[in-house]
Each structure stands twice: as structure tokens, then as C-alpha cells.
Structure 1
Amino acid sequence: MSRKTVYIDESGNFGSRGRYFTIAGTVIDGNKQVRQKELRKIKKVLHDAKLHNSECISSNGELKAANISIDERATFLQRITNKANFSVNYITVDLKHAMDRLLHEQNIFYNYLTSYVIRPIVQDDSELTNLCIILDMRNSAVKRSRNFDDYIKTKIWTEWQAWNVDVEIMYVESQTSVGIQLADFTSNAINGYFLSKNDNLVNIIRPNIIYQIFRTKNLVNNF
């Protein structure tokens, strides 16, 4: 019997002006008590990061990775990987090769890409019985996608044949979820690597990365 919670966030310009786009899932194993214990560790590290970057906190109280220096991001990631137990799945796509239709139908594209983050969680754990997927409701693609719940449940229960897995999907304000905020930092580090080829940040979380996929034509042109 296995329970997992995955927090989904993204990095990059998801449109015709962007180059790379990353969706990352921060995965915490265990029941509610275990999850809350790990979230408290993440919350403490985030609190300390806010103290050092108070001028970068948004009006809603959230500290976004993109708003602080690379050194501060590195400090946060180093501390969080030392203290909390979590894994990372991600997919990065080169939007230069994406079909125009997908760039204009971002909700469909987002659903499809997110399924690649969810799939290994389901398929690599034969003991999985409960999966909670938590997404940022402020994400524009999520806002427009009213069928993600049905889409991902169909994938899980039919295509991936995990009909014994109970699936819960939640949409939250990112400033209220430290799990989403951690996913923001991990997706930022990953997408930043593809943009700059500087691997300093992604190397910090590399031991936590369980599943990774990077695609250009092979994925998006065969949609």
C-alpha cells in the first residue's frame, strides 16, 4: 500500500515567444502525517529564504524563484535537499518545434505534457493505492483546462491500467502551498539549465530527480 502526493508547477514562457517550457512535479511519499512532516521542513526553509530576500516577496507573500538571485536560489535548493525527502519528475520541451495549433491550444498541450510527469509515479509503483495531484490554480493553462481531471483519470485507470489507484486532484493558490512553491524552484532550476546551459542549480537537485524527459520534434510533432 503506497500513497504519493505530487505538486505540479512550470517554468518558461508557454507561448510562441518562448523557447523552452518545463513542467516539474515534486513528489512526497507517505500518508498525511508523513507529508505534513516534510511540508513543515519545506516551510521552515522557505521562511528563512524570505527573511534573506524580503524585498523580493510578492504582494501575496510568495517568494518566486525567478525573483531572487541565482546564489540565493542555490542556497535554498541546497538547504531543502539536505532537510526534506522528496523526488522530482519533469518534462522539458523545445517550443521551437511545437506545432502552432498546440501553442494556441495551451490547455490541451499542458494536459498532455503533465501526463508525462504523472505517468512514472503510477507505472513505477505497483503498490500505489492513493495519488493526490496538486496544481496551481493561477496557472493560465490550468484555468482554461476544465477537463484535466477527466483526462488524467482516464490515463491512469485505462491507458496505464492502474484502476486500483484512488486519485484526488486539488487546485490551490500557490502562496498557500509550500509544495507548489518548492516545485516552482525545481522547475526554475531545470528550465534555467536549458536556457543557459549552466547546470549549477540543477546539479543540486539532480540526486532527487527520478524521471526526466527532454523532447523536441519526437514528442511535440507526434502529438
Structure 2
Amino acid sequence: MYDLHTHTLLSDGELLPTELVRRAAVLGYETLAITDHADASNLRHLVEAGESLRESARCYGLTLLVGVELTHVPPSQIPAFARDAKRFGADVVVVHGETTMEPVAPGTNRAACACEYVDVLGHPGLIAAEDARAAAEHGVALEITSRGGHNRTNGHVVRVAREAGCRLVVDSDTHAPSDLMSAEARRAVALGAGLTETESREVLSLDIKRLLQK
């Protein structure tokens, strides 16, 4: 199992990073990305903090991916910040998409989908077909999320992703211990979003190393 979108008390989550890692390992996760909310003020710090946790994760048999979630960053700044995150050493760059739950700046989805340094567009809301096509072209995965509220548009995301031929991931957007999903919960989220059994198996068992290769 994998989760490419989680938060700790380094932003607005409830857990220390190592506790999050431990809880994920107990649930059977093999790969976990910690992607705390980032902007110009804390980008480098979050990447450096993540790097310091890799050995602890290895001790629990889990591969930790160092990441950030660019959150409410002006669309024009997303390419530069995503590039900087990768330059600082981030494995995963998530962009906080245009969820219907928050006042995300219009154009955020488009900027993320067209950026070679972005890996995942989190909870992309009512994403436009042309933006999904850009995501397919640039290898940006669209997220199916279990996060309450943000998950209202999962069905739309699946439909648009199918039509555009872009990749999907299933993530929790974890903020609290109870947000981490079991294997069965992940399957339910995938099927509930409208994926078929075959599509669900494929999405839930992705080779994450390959996914992140641009």
C-alpha cells in the first residue's frame, strides 16, 4: 500500500512524523509520503525535516518519500516553487488543487498540470478536461481522496481522468490518526469514486517508484 498525501504537526496535522510513519507501518503500508503544507516560508525546512526521518522509517520497514504540498500558492509561482522543492531534495511534490471546499485561486489546477516538477494534483475538484489532458501530457497524477468534503468530486475526477488518459492515485490527505486507511477502506474509496474492480486493483497497487519517474 501507498499514500502520497499526508500531514504532520509540522503543518496542520496531529502527529509527529515518526508516529505517523509507525501507524502507517502497522496498517501495512509500504510507501508513505509526508507532504506538509508548504509555501515560500517553509519549503526548504520541510524537505530537510523529511530527510532526517528516512532512517526511522527504514527501521519500521517503510519507504518514506520526502514531500511537500504547495498550498494556496499563487498559480504563477507554482512552477518555481515545485522546481525548488525538487532541487532541495523532495521526492514528491503535491499541489493543493481547486477543491470545492476552499478558496483556491483559479488557475491552480492548470499551473500544476502543466508543470514537469509536480507529481500529484491533490483533490482537484471539478477539474477541466483540458487541464486533465495537460496532466496526462506532463505525467501529473490526479488524486482520488478519502478526505471529507474534498471527496465530493471524486466521481468527476475519475470520469475526466479516464477521458484524458491520465494517471490516478488514491490518497488519504491524513491529518489525524483515524484518517489513515486500511486496505479495505482504500478499496472502498476507489470503487466509490467509480473505478471498476480492475481499475481499482491497478490504481491501488501502483509501482510508486515508476510513477514518480518523469
The alignment's TM-score, normalised by the length of structure 1, stands at 0.29
- Greater helix fraction, Structure 1 or Structure 2: 1
Q: Greater relative contact order (Cα 8 A, min sep 6): structure 1 or 2?
A: 1
- Greater strand fraction, Structure 1 or Structure 2: 1
The alignment's TM-score, normalised by the length of structure 2, stands at 0.29
Q: Higher Cα Rg: structure 1 or 2?
A: 1
